[in-house]
């Protein structure tokens, strides 16, 4: 097997849970092949560079091979190799999130409930 449809390859390589989800993401422009937007039926060959905008920052992978069927994750990981720049960007983003966490994550209770709001209003009225 030398070529494979892009949507099928993304599914076999376990980037998406289903082919229909892969097709949707491709049509939304979140998957590029060799720097260009692609269609789901585009054939990918070993050596193609695929950009997947599933996370921030996007993941850049090089196609290494094809598989006839979807198999375990250990087999799927042999079908591609993440570029060094992509790996470094993801690690840097992870470090930035660790050093400056999202402020909303520290809020445990959230907004007051209707009952709590009434108690607060009663407290302020007296």
On whether the 4-106 domain is CATH 3.40.50.150, my answer is: no
pLDDT in tens, 15-70: 999 999 999 999 999 999 999 999 999 999 999 999 999 988 999 999 999 999 99
What pLDDT does 126 receive?
Answer: 78
Q: What is the pTM of this model?
A: 0.78
Distance CA 46, CA 17 (A): 22
**31 burial type by CB count under 10 A (0-12 exposed, 13-18 middle, 19+ buried):** buried
Within 2-113, residue ranges assigned H as helices are: 6-12, 19-27, 73-76, 84-99
How confident is the model over 107-115, as a mean pLDDT? 84
What pLDDT does 105 receive?
Answer: 75
Pull the structure tokens for residue 63.
């196609």
For the chain, domain boundaries: 4-106
What pLDDT does 122 receive?
Answer: 94
CB distance 61 to 52 below 8 Å? yes
Q: Element (H or E) spanning 119, and its range?
A: helix 114-125
pLDDT in tens, 60-91: 999 999 999 999 999 999 999 999 999 999 99
**Under 8 Å CB-to-CB from 39, ≥6 apart: which residues?**
6, 26, 27
């Amino acid at each position: 097997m030398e070529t494979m449809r892009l949507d099928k390859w993304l599914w076999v390589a376990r980037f998406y849970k289903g082919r229909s989800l892969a097709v949707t993401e491709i049509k939304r422009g979140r998957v590029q092949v060799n720097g260009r937007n692609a269609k789901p039926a585009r054939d990918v060959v070993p050596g193609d560079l695929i950009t997947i905008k599933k996370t921030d920052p996007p993941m850049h992978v090089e196609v290494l091979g094809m598989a006839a069927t979807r198999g375990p994750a250990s087999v799927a990981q042999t079908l591609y190799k993440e570029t060094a720049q992509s790996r470094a960007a993801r690690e840097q983003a992870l470090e930035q999130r660790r050093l400056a966490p999202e402020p909303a994550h520290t809020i445990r209770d959230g907004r007051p409930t209707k009952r709590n709001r009434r108690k607060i209003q009663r407290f302020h009225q007296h």
